[in-house]
Amino acid sequence: MEKDLNKNLVRKIITMHDPEDEDFLIKSLKISGGRLIKRLPLVNGYLCEFPSEADFALAVRVDNDRIEIDDDIEFRLCWFYNPYVPISKPIPKPIPAPPIYGTDRVGWGLRRIGAPQVWEKLKRRRVRVGIIDTGIDFNHPDLTESIRGGINTIDGFPPQQFMDDYGHGTHIAGIIGATGRNARFFGINPYVDFYIVKAFDRRGKGNLSDIIEGLDWLFSNQVELINMSFSTMETNNTFRRAIQYLDAKGVVLVAAAGNDGGRNSVNYPGRFPEVIAVSATDKQDRIASFSSTGPEVNFCAPGVDIPSAWLNGQYKLKSGTSFAAPHLSGIAADLLNYYGFLPPTKVKEMMASGAVKITHLGNEQQGLGIVELPRIIY
């Protein structure tokens, strides 16, 4: 059952400057009628709920130099709901990579980045990939063998209930690492271990506190890279600290640029310098009309009519920067598989060395260009 919160309730993330001050926070909550929803140890934070703004003000009216307060920002998934209709332009169609595997089993996006050309070069090393999304269909024939763990961080749900009830997270996982073992569909890297965080509900909505809890869980499970196909126009210090911490610990972070279209529209977390931000292109190497662009874009990748896994063992075509991001996550997984551990800066550097500029796109649309795997794995 979805949580149905009273609109008058106020939720805040409260960070203690001194972790030993938890007792002070608990006393403040008792005075104000507030309650502790969850602890967020990654940022020394606590998600707290108050009956009203007045009660919240009462809780933090004294000694507020001991705490930092941030909103529990809401996020949205970066997929395009309606059938995609491109803006027609007289651009010549690019020459696709040779279809080494049958096109019915390999999506056009995988062929565009040259994924099939490096499959036989990959090693048996398993790469730990974290996905923060709507969960995963853990019965899907092309995914089930690769799932190593998962958690539901949404308030009011059992932690072990990370089954996808929306489809988005399953589609992301399929792009990155569908095994193709059941003669159905291939992902970019079939040698990944999935660690899944369900932080978005069946309406496709998620909150910062649930994402931070998921980041903490993924870090504790020693994932090497995390895909974040969601965005928000807002940010705060709590979110920034969480991202900086994981980057400093060597976790590769990949995010969708956002679906706001136009210039200077890249959203968070893609806007953070520690994160690889990905814009979306179509089969003609045109920038997707919905794709956010801006100086924060690092690379572009296929994001229109992308085939991948869906609920109940199905496969569907979907569009959005949501589905461009996992192309870069899959590329990162290939690099970590082939070369072993690489710090985030080295992963970006190697991606840059394999990126090709698309002549008819501007820098803010494509960043360093589209990464082609045969240029960096050979």
> Is the confidence at residue 17, as pLDDT, over 80?
no
CA distance 86 to 308: 21
User: Mean pLDDT over all residues of the chain?
Assistant: 90
Nearest Cα to Cα of residue 176 among 352, 311, 303, 334: 334
Q: Annotated catalytic sites, by residue? A: 133, 168, 322
pTM metric for this prediction: 0.92
CA distance 119 to 377: 10
Report all structural domains of the chain as residue ranges with CATH numbers, in order of start: 10-72 (3.30.70.1150), 76-375 (3.40.50.200)
CA distance 233 to 244: 18
Contacts 24+ apart (CB under 8 A), 82-91: 84/282, 84/288, 84/290, 84/304, 84/305, 84/319, 86/282, 86/284, 86/286, 86/288, 86/289, 86/304, 87/286, 87/289, 89/286, 91/284, 91/285, 91/286, 91/360
> Is the confidence at residue 56, as pLDDT, over 60?
yes
The strand pair at 276-281 and 299-302 is best described as: parallel
- Residue 148 three-state SS: strand
Q: Read off the tokens for 110.
A: 């995988």
CA distance 231 to 171: 17
CB atoms within 10 A of CB 57: 12
Q: What is the mean pLDDT of residues 124-134?
A: 96
CA distance 253 to 284: 27
> Is the confidence at residue 226, as pLDDT, over 60?
yes
CA distance 313 to 294: 37
Return the beta strands (E) in the chain as ranges.
Answer: 10-16, 35-40, 45-50, 67-71, 74-77, 127-133, 147-152, 192-198, 205-207, 225-228, 230-231, 252-256, 276-281, 299-302, 306-309, 315-318, 355-356, 370-371
Q: What is the mean pLDDT of residues 168-194?
A: 89
> Is the confidence at residue 83, as pLDDT, over 80?
no
Q: What is the mean pLDDT of residues 174-178?
A: 96
pLDDT value of residue 222: 98
